Amino acid sequence: MTNSLVKIMATIGSSASIGLGVWHFFVHSAWNWYACMNARATNLIIAVRAVNVFFLLSLVLFGMLNLLFEYGGYANRYSVLVMLAATCI
């Protein structure tokens, strides 16, 4: 019972993380972020894009790693706990 509950909760959390990462890919165009910035501030635009891409990739990759660790069968309990703790921080 406990093991299946942990897998269900990890699946829900990982799916939410992946979904938020995919949503974050489209949020800059949906909310028109670049209209609020001066077009001559190229460093600011590049920085916002870089942060957006890093956040997107980290959310999606951590979510996928959590799913692979949980359902892959190759990870031991310690590695799963470390990965879940790292993604909670």
Query: pLDDT tens, 42-78?
Result: 999 899 999 999 999 999 999 999 888 888 877 888 8
Q: Give φ, ψ of 41 to 5 degrees.
A: -85, 70
Specify the pTM. Answer: 0.79
DSSP code, position 40: T
CA distance 6 to 24: 27
Mean pLDDT of 28-45: 87
Quick: pLDDT tens for 6-20: 889 889 999 999 999
In this predicted structure, what is the pLDDT of residue 28?
82
CA distance 56 to 79: 23
| pLDDT higher than threshold 70 for residue 1 | no
